[in-house]
Amino acid sequence: MQDLMVFIAVYDQSSVTEVSETLFVSQSTVSYSLKKLRTSFEDELFINTRAGMRPTYKATTMYGHVQKILESINLCHAGGQAFDPKQKAASTW
């Protein structure tokens, strides 16, 4: 999940330094996440330019899908209630 968060942050912020500060991780962690993503998707995903990290065509097409994945994960976390044994009857199989 962290790698996907890094992907979205780099896409939005165009800066590894800014992403590391935003996500409270080191720059090397951001770089390592990008390396894993590049290997997984067989694409550079972002090109380092004077103006910052620029997404490749593949990264641009992935962006919306990755956002939806992270939104779905966040919904799963937000929707769950803590287990309260007083509220649930014991199940026997």
Q: What is the pTM of this model?
A: 0.82
- 9-48: pLDDT as tens digits: 999 999 999 999 999 999 999 999 999 999 999 999 999 9
Burial 22-56 (b: 16+ CB within 10 A, else e): ebebeeebbeebbeebeeeeeeebbeeeeeebebe
For the chain, give every domain's residue range. Answer: 2-73
Q: Which fold has domain 2-73?
A: Arc Repressor Mutant, subunit A (1.10.10)
Task: Name the nearest CA neighbour of 19 among 37, 3, 35.
Answer: 3
- For residue 52, give the 3-state DSSP assignment: strand
CB atoms within 10 A of CB 15: 17
